[in-house]
Amino acid sequence: MTILIDADGCPVVDITVKMAAKLRINCVILCDASHVFEKPGVKTITVSTGSDSVDFALVNMVQAGDVVVTQDYGLAAMCLARRAVPLSQNGMVYTNDNIDALLHERHISKKIRMSGGRLKGPSKRTAEQDATFTRVLKAILTE
């Protein structure tokens, strides 16, 4: 098992890296050239800046049983197809039961934005979200 982190805009990189080290699980950070991650004991792969470049690099690496930390529903869907365990930064495990509804929600939101509509952005991250993510990640890694 490897933990793969879609690190572009990911607020739980440090939590994930710390948990991986504690449990002695291989961890890889993937980011594009506009981000810099240097974490001791963790491999970082930097890909060219471009639309979905990190997503495609990650999907080409992921193996069945790997854990993928991402906030991207499209990437989560591709990882599910490869029998990985995708996990959101808020501790939601993406599954075959919830991914279609999430992708549909993303599609509707994009249509609203493209027609000139505005949507409320995410709220400020809370300590409770970090705690939930940590609890769920630990459960996945130790089961």
pLDDT band at 67 (very low <50, low <70, confident <90, very high): very high
pLDDT of residue 34: 77
- By the 10 Å C-beta count (0-12 exposed, 13-18 middle, 19+ buried), 114 is classed as exposed
Q: How far is CA 141 from CA 44, 46, 108, 129, in A?
A: 20, 25, 33, 18
Q: What is the pLDDT of residues 10-62, one digit of tens each?
A: 899 999 999 999 999 999 999 988 777 888 889 999 998 877 889 999 999 99
The residues with which 69 forms a beta bridge, in sequence order, are: 5, 87
Q: What is the pLDDT of residues 114-143, one digit of tens each?
A: 778 777 767 788 999 999 999 999 999 998
Q: Which residue has the tokens 């499209």?
A: 74
CA distance 121 to 53: 24
Structurally, how many domains does the chain consist of?
1
Give percent of the chain above pLDDT 90: 60
Residues spanned by the domain of 56:
2-142
CA distance 26 to 97: 28
Please report, for the domain that includes residue 36, its CATH number.
Answer: 3.40.50
Assigned token pair, 94: 């993406």
pLDDT of residue 124: 86
